[in-house]
Amino acid sequence: MTAKTQLRPVDSYTAQEIMEIAQRAEWRRGDGFLVPPASVPLYVEAVKALARERARG
């Protein structure tokens, strides 16, 4: 049995955490784990843009 992680509000993630999520999505592109493979490029760009916004403060 796997333990579920607690859901967090979107605004609680740091820019670094968001960028790491985007990187994991890129690495798992072929798996379709996070989103369908065809949607990965759009998802990754959106998450990276959010990370850049968060980093600007």
For residue range 27-55, list pLDDT tens digits in order: 887 776 667 777 788 888 899 999 999 89
Two structure tokens written together for 55: 């980093």
Per-residue pLDDT at 8 exceeds 80: no
Which of 7-11, 17-21, 39-43, 48-52 has the highest mean predicted lDDT (pLDDT)? 48-52
Q: Give, rounded to a whole angstrom, the gap between the first and last alpha carbons of the chain.
A: 39
pLDDT reported for residue 5: 66
pTM beyond 0.75: the answer is no
Buried b (16+ CB within 10 A) or exposed e, 35-54: eeeeebeebbeebbebbeeb
Nearest alpha carbon to residue 49 among 19, 28, 24:
19
Separation between Cα atoms, residue 26 and residue 43, nearest integer Å: 9
Q: Can you tell me which residue has the tokens 């796997």?
A: 2
